[in-house]
Amino acid sequence: MSLYRLTVHEAHDLLRRREISSLELTESVLRKIEECDQGIRAYITSTADIALDHAKQADERIAANDMGPLTGIPMAVKDNICTKGVPTTCGSRMLENFIPPYDATVVERLREEGAVLVGKSNMDEFAMGSSTEHSAFFPTLNPWDTSRVPGGSSGGSAASVLGNETIFALGSDTGGSVRQPAGLCGVVGLKPTYGRVSRYGLIAFASSLDQIGALTKDVTDCALVMNAIGFRDPLDSTSVDEPTPDYTSYLKEDLGGIVVGVPAEYFAEGLDPGVEKRVRSAIEKLVELGAEVREISFPHERYLVATYFLTSSAEASANLARYDGLKYGLFAPDARSILEAQSKARGRGFGTEVKRRIMLGTYALSSGYYDAYYLNAQKVRTLIKEDLDRAFRAGVDVVAGPTSPVVAFGIGEKVDDPLEMYLADLYTIPANLAGLPCVSIPCGFSDGLPVGLQIMGRPFAEGTVLGVAYAFEQNTDFHLRRPPTSL
Ligand code: GLN
């Protein structure tokens, strides 16, 4: 069998039994990247030399019986997560030449565990987008159909996992950027509870929403990565001192006693009939496995998209103010004053979508409009959170529904219509606004393209969410299907 096709847990078993070495596994993944990435473009930077070095170090640890579940396992890291000495562009011309002097806390921890960095994955610029078409460099293509997008903004991470160009990947999720590309590619993607994973070294988009999450080939792998990255980090004051359970202990095959809430409002206009059909039959499957399904109401659902885009753009406008062309990023040597240097650097360094968000966010925060837009969005955010709290208080364990209203769309299809693109984020946004853990898993195919089922839980109930996902996965085979180029 080709080693690049292994999951984390399969590769770990073979490494532990000394049937393969990390070097063999890593070389196999690097060859796959060489062979396929020109047609997919999942990576902005490949780190082959570093990977070989990491693999050799891992093999020494394995020989000394000093190994954990991720030792010697290749990983892709989204290009907005800082990697010491390795370019971290955030998909932007603004940071094209930025080489971080430090590792993000998650990267540091994964390196301590012995994971092997194979590359930095492509993304929408500053994580703003749902298709990876807003990368300043090139779009990533969906391995299921290269005329279609892989989703975004962690599209490179999702495509690399689907394409077997890595064993697992990290992404970031502000309004769906781990789950939506996972859904559109047919892999597993988890956004943890806000505060579960350190954001130190994650280049900020919207600080009250951003979380780093895992993209993996199956649910077990996702639990293993979460075991490694879920902990309190003194360098991120929003990370929480909550004990990290062993998430694999939640992986059981039946769902007896689990109450699944399904918002009636989710199945409305705009939802593709093929997606609806797969998601409804996935929910029936949960019932077959012992879960009780209850219809719940989500009265503020219609305000989700507006609330998210106002909040995230406002925070982004503040976060991106630091790119002034002087301290960081692009520098305009032809400028004759500081003001001109700033305006030239920002004019040249940011792409259209980023500029659109900065303008929208600055407007929403400006005096005279703050109350009408930003403040109201915060009030509605509370109401949205209360809608979900109410369901959990009434005994619902998880909320289930589609990850996206549509399957992977064509390259160029939505890129000139921002509103159309934003509306496709409807289902992923609630978990960010309410800070809840939420996973997307493959639940079927429509027109030959994957459909994602989303499962959201109470704060810090990553275990429950992964448990429900695992039961579904073990009783279906959608996670095993791969496009021919991945094989
Ligand atoms: N697609 C959403 C946006 O454009 C979410 C992005 C994200 O989660 N980083 O903002």
Which mutation among 121, 125, 130 tests ligand 1's pocket best, with the greatest number of atoms within 8 A of CB?
Answer: 130
Among this protein's residues, is 78 annotated catalytic? yes
Among this protein's residues, is 285 annotated catalytic? no
Question: What is d(CA 83, CA 120) in angstroms, rounded to the nearest whole number?
Answer: 9
HEC readout, 66-106: CCCCCCCCEEEEECCECECCECCCCCCHHHCCCCCCCCCHH
pLDDT for res 165: 98
Give the predicted TM-score (pTM) of the model: 0.98
Could you identify the atom of ligand 1 that is nearest to the CA of residue 152?
1
Question: What is d(CA 73, CA 45) in angstroms, rounded to the nearest whole number?
Answer: 18
Take residue 200 and report the two structure tokens written for it. Answer: 């130190």
Among this protein's residues, is 414 annotated catalytic? no
Residue 414: inside a domain: no
Residue 231: inside a domain: yes
Å from CA of 62 to ligand 1 middle? 39
CATH number, domain of 241, equals: 3.90.1300.10
Going by alpha carbons, the residue nearest to atom 10 of ligand 1 is 128
φ/ψ bin of 306: left (φ > 0), alpha (ψ from -120 to 50), beta (otherwise): alpha
Residue 222: inside a domain: yes
H helices of 239-351, in order, are 273-288, 304-319, 338-349
Three-state secondary structure call for residue 111? helix
Compute the chain's Rg from CA coordinates: 21
pLDDT for res 1: 66
Residue 31: inside a domain: yes
H helices of 333-401, in order, are 338-349, 352-365, 376-393
φ/ψ bin of 127: left (φ > 0), alpha (ψ from -120 to 50), beta (otherwise): left
Catalytic residue among 177, 239, 440, 486: 177
- 432: Cβ below 6 Å to ligand 1? no
Tens digit of pLDDT at every position of the chain (487 positions)? 699 999 999 999 999 999 999 999 999 999 999 999 999 999 999 999 999 999 999 999 999 999 999 999 999 999 999 999 999 999 999 999 999 999 999 999 999 999 999 999 999 999 999 999 999 999 999 999 999 999 999 999 999 999 999 999 999 999 999 999 999 999 999 999 999 999 999 999 999 999 999 999 999 999 999 999 999 999 999 999 999 999 999 999 999 999 999 999 999 889 999 999 999 999 999 999 999 999 999 999 999 999 999 999 999 999 999 999 888 778 899 999 999 999 999 999 999 999 999 999 999 999 999 999 999 999 999 999 999 999 999 999 999 999 999 999 999 999 999 999 999 899 999 999 999 999 999 999 999 999 999 999 999 999 999 999 999 999 999 999 999 999 9
HSE, CB side, 13 Å, CA atoms: give it for residue 349.
27
Q: Which domain holds residue 31?
A: 3-254
Catalytic residue among 21, 121, 130, 153: 153
φ/ψ bin of 111: left (φ > 0), alpha (ψ from -120 to 50), beta (otherwise): alpha
Residue 108: inside a domain: yes
Q: Which residues of 137-171 are buried (b: 16+ CB within 10 A; e: fewer)?
A: bebbbbbbbbebbbbbbbbbbbbbbbbbbbbbbbb
Residue 128: inside a domain: yes
For residue 138, what are the contacts with CB-CB under 8 A and spacing of at least 6? 41, 122
Could you identify the atom of ligand 1 that is nearest to the CA of residue 174?
8
Residue 454: inside a domain: no
DSSP 132-196: STT-SS----BTTBTTB---SSSHHHHHHHHTTSSSEEEEEESSSTTHHHHHHHT-EEEEPPTTT
Tally of structural domains, the chain: 1
Question: What is d(CA 397, CA 486) in angstroms, rounded to the nearest whole number?
Answer: 36
HSE, CB side, 13 Å, CA atoms: give it for residue 253.
3
Question: What is d(CA 346, CA 329) in angstroms, rounded to the nearest whole number?
Answer: 9
Strand partners, 188: 216
Residue 126: inside a domain: yes
CA distances in angstroms from 116 to 57, 134, 187, 283, listed in the order given: 9, 28, 20, 37
Question: What is d(CA 264, CA 279) in angstroms, rounded to the nearest whole number?
Answer: 13
